[in-house]
């Protein structure tokens, strides 16, 4: 308990050593800008069917964690977005339905893009990136069971 005449009445003294004050980083504005950019891309991913949104919100949370913890807390407090980011951080993976939607979105985006790319090298690169994305989601990202 606090001592009589204490400067902070009702305050209990902690036995833990005091934490050092956080040093302001010169990169903080860049992390914040990246967080806002990734959040914007995540919102676009919620609207556009061929752009995944979750990965952008995960990147936004990581950038906000380095830039400003208040923005990270704001992002994590969003109803659906916060759950997805927390599940990813905890290693719980994605729901099966979300995995299938992501894989179908990648397949659709690649199928619509490849015929419009004039160079064969660009077509092959797009196809390989699409296959790598689908393979990563199917085999590397754990499936969260209900």
pLDDT at 2: 47
pLDDT at 102: 82
**DSSP 8-state secondary structure symbol assigned to residue 2:** P
% of the chain residues with pLDDT over 70 = 82
**Average pLDDT score over residue span 84-91:** 85
Query: What is the Cα–Cα distance from 28 to 107, expressed in whole angstroms?
Result: 37
What rounded mean pLDDT belongs to the chain?
A: 82
72's CB contacts (< 8 A; 6+ apart) are 35, 61, 64, 65
43-47, 57-61, 75-79, range with the lowest pLDDT = 43-47
Cβ 8 vs Cβ 2: under 8 Å: yes
How far is CA 17 from its chain centroid?
A: 33
pLDDT beyond 80 at 77: yes
Percent of the chain with pLDDT over 90: 38
Of the pLDDT bands very low, low, confident and very high (cuts 50, 70, 90), residue 111 is very high
Q: How far apart are CA 58 and CA 29, in angstroms?
A: 19
What is the arithmetic mean of pLDDT over 116-122?
94
46-53 contacts at long range (C-beta below 8 A, 24 or more positions apart): 49/105, 49/108, 50/105, 50/108, 50/109, 50/112, 51/105, 51/109, 52/102, 52/105, 52/106
What's the pLDDT at 123? 94
Please say whether the beta carbons of 52 and 31 come within 8 A.
no
More confident residue, 80 or 6: 80
Kindly tell me if the per-residue pLDDT of 64 is higher than 80.
yes
- pTM of the full structure: 0.61
Supply φ then ψ for residue 84, to 5 degrees. Answer: -65, -45
Q: Write down the domain spans for the chain.
A: 27-92, 94-146
Alpha helices in 1-146 (DSSP H): 28-47, 54-67, 69-76, 79-89, 96-113, 120-135
């Amino acid at each position: 308990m606090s001592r009589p005449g204490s400067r902070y009445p009702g305050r209990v003294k902690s036995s833990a050593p005091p934490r050092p004050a956080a040093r302001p980083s010169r990169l903080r504005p860049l992390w914040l800008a990246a967080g806002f950019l990734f959040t914007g891309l995540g919102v676009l991913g919620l609207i556009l069917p061929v752009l995944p949104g979750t990965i952008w919100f995960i990147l936004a949370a990581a950038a906000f964690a380095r830039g400003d913890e208040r923005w990270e807390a704001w992002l994590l407090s969003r109803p659906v977005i916060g759950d997805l980011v927390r599940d990813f951080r905890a290693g719980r993976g994605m729901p099966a339905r979300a995995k299938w939607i992501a894989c179908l979105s990648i397949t659709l985006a690649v199928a619509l893009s490849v015929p419009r790319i004039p160079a064969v090298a660009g077509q092959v690169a797009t196809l390989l990136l699409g296959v790598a994305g689908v393979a990563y989601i199917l085999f590397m990202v754990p499936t969260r069971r209900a």
